[in-house]
A and B are shown apart, each in its own frame.
Chain A
Amino acid sequence: AQSVTQPDIHITVSEGASLELRCNYSYGATPYLFWYVQSPGQGLQLLLKYFSGDTLVQGIKGFEAEFKRSQSSFNLRKPSVHWSDAAEYFCAVGRVTEYGNKLVFGAGTILRVKS
């Protein structure tokens, strides 16, 4: 069965510091991987996705993620965090068809940014 583990429930970083959010997945086939962000009181917004090819993918808001098949990981990174990055981040894995996709989400990591 598909599953996603985000080991860190909360992370606190200082503004300007680097960030890495961890994501490990279990999937029986070639995974399609996603990172979403949720600001308080809002729906989820797609940050980036990996389907195939280059294992380092760039997303919006200066985020990037690296797919490592050998470690079943898809960690999210940002070199310098801004206060506006404080939010909850969700990793997701799933299958994609020509009509849509079906995803399994991790439990989320809440990012706090201290000034």
Chain B
Amino acid sequence: GAGVSQSPSNKVTEKGKDVELRCDPISGHTALYWYRQSLGQGLEFLIYFQGNSAPDKSGLPSDRFSAERTGGSVSTLTIQRTQQEDSAVYLCASSLGATSSYEQYFGPGTRLTVT
């Protein structure tokens, strides 16, 4: 079956430009997570969506970062006025639910390079 997909796989952008990263979770998964992985580092939690509840945005590093999840499925992570320190791999994961199943399935990630 189809797993979590993300697009684009790679994105190179100039400092100051806005970027949008897309995540398609596994069908039926109500929980969706965004993480950031910097070179040689672990995963840093960014934001979490669960069903129709208000998202947990506590991991977003600045107000330049925002995310939406339309129709309880596809999610878009937007970074405005990108900075070089935003360069990282952005990973999306989904799970059946935060409490019904803990296992998070990850997508391949989007590698963002800010020049």
A binds B: no
| Residues of B bordering A, CB below 8 Å | none
